Structures are given as C-alpha cells and as structure tokens.
Amino acid sequence: MSGHGEHQEHTAHVVPISTYVGVFIVLLVGTALTTAVAYIDLGRWNTVVALAIAVTKMLFVILFFMHVKYNPGLTRIIIAGAFFWLGIMICFSMADELTRGWEYNPPGWTPGLILPYLFHFLF
C-alpha cells in the first residue's frame, strides 16, 4: 500500500566525464568552424551556414549540459513549448520586417521649414 510516509528515491543521472569532454570538443570545433566560415564568402549562404552551426551548438548545450536528454517528458514539453514560442516571435518579427516596404516614409525634418511659422507665431 502506498502511503504518505513512503518516498520514492529520485536518483540523478550521472553523466560520464568523457561525454562532457566530447561535447566540449564538439563546441570548440563548432566555434572554430564558425570563425572559419566567417572569412569565406559564401554569398547568401553565410547566414544560413552560421545559423546552422549555432543551432547545432545550442542543441549540444541543451541536451547535455542542461541534462534535457536524461530528463522526463515534462521538461521536454516545456523546452518544445519554448521553441514553439520562439518560432512565433520570429514569424511576427519577419512579418513586420517584410511588410515595411509599403509604408510611406516622409522626408526628414529640416529646420528651414519651421522658421517662417516660428517667426509668425512669435511676432
């Protein structure tokens, strides 16, 4: 019978040092690759390649250093919800940015236009 006095032992998953060292080496290689790609002209693909490397490094950090790989389903649902929300924010930002071409942008303010009105108002 499961009473209130009984407690379940929750043991944390112990990750071997070799896993951390391996992930650290992958992150260092990713950083070196990002730096190398920054000096290569890939045209329109520079941003795509840099973001792909950054996303890969982000996944390694989230999965191994934040222990999401070893956590139960609720943590994974929370992380998935956070990425879904990030996707929504990126979509709204892109929709805002891509629809700015149709707005009328008036010319800048020039001080010479206000002087006649200011003179009439003051005198």
CA–CA distance, 118 with 111 (Å, rounded to integer): 11
Question: Half-sphere exposure of 49 toward its Cβ, with a 13 Å CA cutoff?
Answer: 16
Same domain for 43 and 21, yes or no, is yes
pLDDT at 116 over 70: no
What is the model's pLDDT at position 122? 66
Q: Establish if 65 belongs to a structural domain.
A: yes
Q: 24 or 111, which is more confident? A: 24
- Determine contact, residues 27/57, Cβ cutoff 8 Å: yes
Q: What is the pLDDT of residues 36-87, one digit of tens each?
A: 999 999 988 998 999 999 999 999 998 888 888 877 788 888 888 999 999 9
Mean pLDDT of 19-34: 94
Same domain for 53 and 83, yes or no, is no
pTM: 0.60
Place of tokens 């040092």: 17
Work out how many domains the chain is built from and give that number.
2
Same domain for 59 and 79, yes or no, is no
Range of the domain at 77: 72-101
Same domain for 36 and 59, yes or no, is yes
Residue 119's H or E segment, with its range, is helix 111-122
CA–CA distance, 68 with 81 (Å, rounded to integer): 14
Q: Establish if 108 belongs to a structural domain.
A: no
Same domain for 59 and 83, yes or no, is no
